[in-house]
Amino acid sequence: MDKHKTIFDTTLRDGEQTPGVSLTNDQKLKIARQLDKLGVDVIEAGFPVSSEGEKQNVKAIASEGLSLDVCGLARVLTKDLDACIDCNVDMVHTFVSTSDIQRIHTIKKSREEVLSMAVNAVEHIKDHGAKCMFSAMDATRTDLDYLIEVYEAVEGAGCDIINVPDTVGVMSPSSMYELVRNIDAHVNIPIDVHCHNDFGIAVANSLMAAEAGASQIQCTINGIGERAGNANLAEVVMSLHSIYGAKTNINTEYLLETAKMVESYTGIHMPANTPIVGDNAFAHESGIHTHGVLEKSDTFEPGIMTPEMVGHKRRIVVGKHAGRHAVKKSLEDMGIETNDEQLDEILSQIKDIANKGKRVCDADLHAVASSVLGRNLGSETIVLKEFSVMTGNLITPTAVVRATIGDQEAIASNYGVGPVDATLRAVEEMIGGYTKVKVRDFALEAITGGSDALAEVTISVEDGEGHVSSAQSASTDIATASVDALIAAINLLLDQKKTRGME
């Protein structure tokens, strides 16, 4: 494989086409800046002809002075191309369907008409001085001879780079390799690929295209995009770097930060087992694995990719499959020393909790250790005195919380999208002057049925140095369960901080 590949990110265009996703202009601008910090080479900022708002947003991103190239999408129609040119983008990405199925049933043009529209579009873009990328939409279902004829024609018209879209994600890795090899034998301009993830192999197909000679890969953050999405940028980049020994301009230490930003703006949540950026990507629970990892992390991690490389953290999880090493390490992190007998008892009680199907959180481990050691190990820095929350269809949900923090009285209010959000934000506001903590995970489960169901809330919080602690609480009132779990998790974090001697 060539040593260097460029990364084209289409989170703001194909990514925003994810069903149910709609980003505000401000969020798009923030994502564009983040992609610049990440080191992406080109971003597709949007489809300017689609609306005046979209056009203004692409224009705003193009005028941000980012280091990356800003690209706009256009059909091979003059009004689309001009909308991009009006935005002063660095590159125009123009596309037209070339497969018979799309050509006959959607645009209803002959092969000759499609070819001449493609050539005219490329000439129009080049006449206006922008870089030009041409996509034969549904390339992977297009008759091969015709596909090559189209690519040769756009190269002749001055196109800078061609894209091979696997529009409906039907390629296998080996067929993608063959196709790109074939195209590469006929054209002399760089090849870019755009793989959809309908069968879950968009990343594998992109890597095989790269192996076959594609010099640029299109990706999105968290793999979002039409239907099952596009190739996931973090997975493509880390595979290129760590498995293939290739290089990109991506500053990989910002991968997690970027994934979290896109997750929060789009509301498309990453499952815990998402590679590279998921919560469990570097988490270990089973006894054999945690023992190995605590001795030497490479024993049960790839080694060629570490959590630090992608801005992540290794986590040792105490749960059903935990062994002595994991429990000992977690207790040590809490500043709790035990002898062998006490450790065995704590482990056995933790397994009992987990065997009842309950998720074990730090607060459980702390409580079990307190009871086994026969002393109260923690101090409650924050003691909740009262809280109230107002909600309804005519008011913005608003919460007020009052507590003592150490020997100080504190009170704060905040609003949110719902009563729980308002309550959590009010607590964050209240403790803001004392310590900086943010909610990392929030899980809500109804553990009994009916409208009087008991809700169990599990919250994990993270401080500015990346230390995490979790706690659970159950109540028939979800706001009460949430505030109790949040304060318990923060108290634990503050305790651990004291133990580390950082105060």
Q: Which residues bind ligand KIV (CB under 6 A)?
A: 14, 95, 135, 137, 163, 165, 167, 194, 196
**What phi and psi values does residue 61 have, to the nearest 5 degrees?**
-65, -40
Q: 491 touches which of Zn ion, ligand KIV, none (CB within 5 to 8 A by kind)?
A: none
Q: CB of residue 268 vs ligand KIV: minimum separation in angstroms? A: 18
Lookup: tokens for 75 = 């059909």
Q: CB of residue 362 vs ligand KIV: minimum separation in angstroms? A: 44
Q: 137 touches which of ligand KIV, Zn ion, none (CB within 5 to 8 A by kind)?
A: ligand KIV
The neighbour count for residue 316, using CB atoms within 10 Å, is 19
Any idea of the CA torsion for 458, 300, 294, 235, to the nearest 10 degrees?
-60
- Interface of this chain with Zn ion, residues 107 to 126, rule: CB under 5 A: none
Nearer to Zn ion by C-beta: 6 or 252?
6
Nearer to Zn ion by C-beta: 193 or 427?
193
Site size toward Zn ion, by CB under 5 A: 1
* Pick from 144, 145, 210: nearest CA to 173: 210
Q: CB of residue 222 vs ligand KIV: minimum separation in angstroms? A: 17
For helices 202-212 and 173-184, give the axis angle rounded to 10 degrees: 30
Instruction: Assess 16 for contact with Zn ion (CB under 5 A).
Output: no
Nearer to ligand KIV by C-beta: 15 or 416?
15
Q: 135 touches which of Zn ion, ligand KIV, none (CB within 5 to 8 A by kind)?
A: ligand KIV
Q: Considering only the stretches 14-22, 70-78, 235-243, 346-354, report the one whose residues sit in contact with Zn ion under the rule CB under 5 A.
A: 14-22
Q: CB of residue 2 vs ligand KIV: minimum separation in angstroms? A: 22
Nearer to Zn ion by C-beta: 102 or 413?
102
Nearer to Zn ion by C-beta: 14 or 462?
14
d(CA 6, CA 83): 26
Please select the residue that binds Zn ion; options are 14, 44, 192, 235, rule is CB under 5 A.
14
d(CA 470, CA 355): 19
d(CA 23, CA 12): 8
Nearer to ligand KIV by C-beta: 190 or 307?
190
Q: CB of residue 17 vs Zn ion: minimum separation in angstroms? A: 7
For 24, residues 6+ apart whose C-beta sits below 8 A from its C-beta are none
Cβ atoms of 440 and 460 within 8 Å: the answer is: yes
Residue nearest to Zn ion (CB): 14
* Pairing between β-strand 191-195 and β-strand 161-166 as defined by DSSP bridges: parallel
Q: CB of residue 264 vs ligand KIV: minimum separation in angstroms? A: 24
* Pairing between β-strand 455-463 and β-strand 468-475 as defined by DSSP bridges: antiparallel
Nearer to ligand KIV by C-beta: 118 or 360?
118
Nearer to ligand KIV by C-beta: 59 or 194?
194
* Pick from 240, 223, 241, 224: nearest CA to 232: 223
**DSSP designation for 272:** T
The neighbour count for residue 52, using CB atoms within 10 Å, is 10
Q: In the sheet where 408-415 sits, what is the strand order?
A: 382-390, 398-405, 408-415
Q: CB of residue 28 vs Zn ion: minimum separation in angstroms? A: 18
Q: Return the bridge partners of 232, or none.
A: 220
Q: Which residues bind Zn ion (CB under 5 A)?
A: 14
